[in-house]
């Protein structure tokens, strides 16, 4: 009884820090996405998180991105666009790292901001080869795979989660859930302009200096991915987040 109350209180703590008017999902897919990607929604320090776990269209994404205060900078060889609060803190982290001859650079042209179409293409780049693999292996009927391919990307999500519950994982290496490899269309943290994929993610000095400037790892086992949460590490549990250790890394996820 005591334990149950404790768990309930922690999950209330997370709920209490969600944005005003946040559209909390009731469906299984939405709840899973909130659990896997939801740290973003309690971001502070001038960050504006979306009010929904999944954008349903390009126009929803564009309207949200248009409402934000954002900054664009050349970092390394790529242009990076982020919410201004996230960018300012990133630049401070980069400047501090430079003093110790440590670099922090984006992994590609799509390392920060993405649009809805980008998330659709990334999703397809995992789903299509995974379906082909499971058909070839004999675990999945051609008819079922074809049916999934014909659905809209949005409607594919619950079907893919179902296949994964039968052991047919759809990440790039087919060993884990697709959610740790790419986000479902419309659900990527990159749409919020509060996420950055970093080349030097393996260097603990990079992770430390980013954390000192409000940037944390929040998607378990997505190693290059950092999220701007806008507070110091000792504030994260007060926002209703919990620390997960995985593969020698620390990840902060909703305490749900
Ligand atoms: Zn990422």
Q: Where are the alpha helices (DSSP H) in the chain?
A: 2-16, 28-37, 58-66, 84-99, 116-136, 142-150, 153-165, 204-212
CA of 82 to the centre of ligand 1 (A): 13
Q: Is 181 helix (H, G, I), strand (E, B) or coil?
A: coil
Cα of 81 vs centre of ligand 1, distance in Å, is: 13
Full-model pTM: 0.92
Of residues 185, 211, 179, the one with CA closest to residue 198:
211
How far apart are the CA of 213 and the centre of ligand 1, in A? 18
Residue 120, token pair as written in the block: 């659709």
CA of 118 to the centre of ligand 1 (A): 12
Residue 225 CA to ligand 1 centre (angstroms) = 4
- Is residue 230 within 8 A of residue 214, CB to CB? The reply is yes
Give residue-wise pLDDT tens across range 18-40.
999 999 999 999 999 999 999 99
What is the whole-number distance in angstroms between the Cα of residue 197 and the centre of ligand 1? 5
What separation in Å is there between the alpha carbon of 196 and the centre of ligand 1?
6
58-117 residue pLDDT tens:
999 999 999 999 999 999 999 999 999 999 999 999 999 999 999 999 999 999 999 999
Distances (CA, A) of 189 to 52, 113, 196, 243: 11, 9, 9, 19
Token digits for 83?
């919410």
């Amino acid at each position: 009884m005591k334990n149950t109350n404790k768990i309930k209180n922690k999950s209330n703590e997370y709920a209490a820090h969600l944005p005003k008017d946040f559209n909390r999902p009731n469906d299984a897919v939405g709840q899973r996405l909130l659990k896997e990607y939801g740290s973003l929604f309690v971001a502070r320090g001038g960050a504006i998180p979306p009010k929904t776990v999944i954008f349903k269209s390009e126009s929803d994404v564009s309207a949200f991105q248009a409402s934000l205060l954002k900054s664009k900078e050349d970092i390394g060889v790529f242009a990076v666009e982020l919410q201004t609060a996230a960018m300012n803190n990133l630049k401070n982290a980069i400047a501090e790292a430079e003093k110790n001859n440590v670099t922090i650079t984006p992994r590609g042209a799509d390392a920060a901001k993405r649009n809805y179409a980008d998330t659709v293409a990334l999703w397809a780049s995992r789903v299509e080869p995974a379906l082909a693999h499971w058909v070839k292996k004999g675990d999945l009927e051609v008819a079922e795979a074809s049916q999934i391919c014909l659905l809209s990307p949005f409607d594919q999500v619950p079907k893919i989660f179902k296949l994964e519950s039968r052991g047919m994982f759809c990440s790039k290496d087919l060993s884990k859930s697709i959610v740790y490899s790419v986000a479902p269309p419309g659900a990527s943290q990159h749409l919020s302009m509060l996420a950055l994929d970093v080349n030097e993610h393996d260097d603990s000095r990079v992770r430390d200096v980013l954390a000192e400037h409000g940037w944390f790892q929040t998607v378990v086992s997505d190693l290059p991915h950092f999220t701007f949460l806008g507070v110091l590490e000792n504030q994260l549990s007060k926002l209703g987040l919990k620390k997960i250790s995985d593969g020698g890394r620390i990840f902060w996820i909703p305490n749900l």
